[in-house]
Amino acid sequence: MFASIEAYGHLIIEFVRTHQAWAAPIMFLLAFGESLAFISLLIPAWAALVGIGAMIGPSGLNFWPLWVAGAVGAALGDWLSYWVGQKLEHAVFNVWPLSRHPELLPKGEAFVKKWGVLAIYIGRFSGPLRASVPLIAGIFQMPYWSFQVANFTSAFIWAGVLLLFGDVITKVFAWIWG
């Protein structure tokens, strides 16, 4: 399974290398999928996002459109997860993976109640929490505007960090082995 995930990431990065005009839309879609409740478990896109960041220097990709596309994709994915949480509320207990792990929602609720809006920032940078915190925030009715401000600001920080991490790693490797 991990080999197929790795191959998936390499295919995306190679596609972007060959078709640079698609870099921002792909960045948007990957970040959106990475941020959706339940779907993010099937789309481990962060490595591909870092890989796209690694191409910024060598290929001449422009950081700014990638950053905006990634941030907006991530924020919209979280927004949709929050909305699903608000609409379905406790019916989400019956959906996989929560149906198999019913202890996750009370733990998630405790996390969101303990950290409040900071839970959105913390969750954004933690793989297992990234897509579940917005869902839980919606289920337990975190105030809409508090959620959205944290959602969008954390998305811009997250997308920038991933892209810059990839870019910096490339520069470090070039410096060491160049």
Average pLDDT over all residues of the chain: 88
Q: Is the pLDDT of residue 63 over 90?
A: yes
**Cα gap 53→139, rounded to integer Å:** 34
**Cα gap 48→170, rounded to integer Å:** 14
Q: Is the pLDDT of residue 28 over 80?
A: yes
Q: Is the pLDDT of residue 3 over 70?
A: no
Using pLDDT thresholds of 50, 70 and 90, give the confidence band for residue 106: confident
Burial 119-136 (b: 16+ CB within 10 A, else e): bbbebbeeeebbbbbbbb
The pLDDT tens digits of the residues spanning 145-162 come to 999 999 999 999 999 999
| Other CB atoms within 10 Å distance of the CB of residue 109 | 14
As a whole number, mean pLDDT of residues 119-128 equals 90
Q: Residue 139 corresponds to which tokens in the numbers above?
A: 């289920």
Using pLDDT thresholds of 50, 70 and 90, give the confidence band for residue 5: low
- Total-model pTM: 0.90
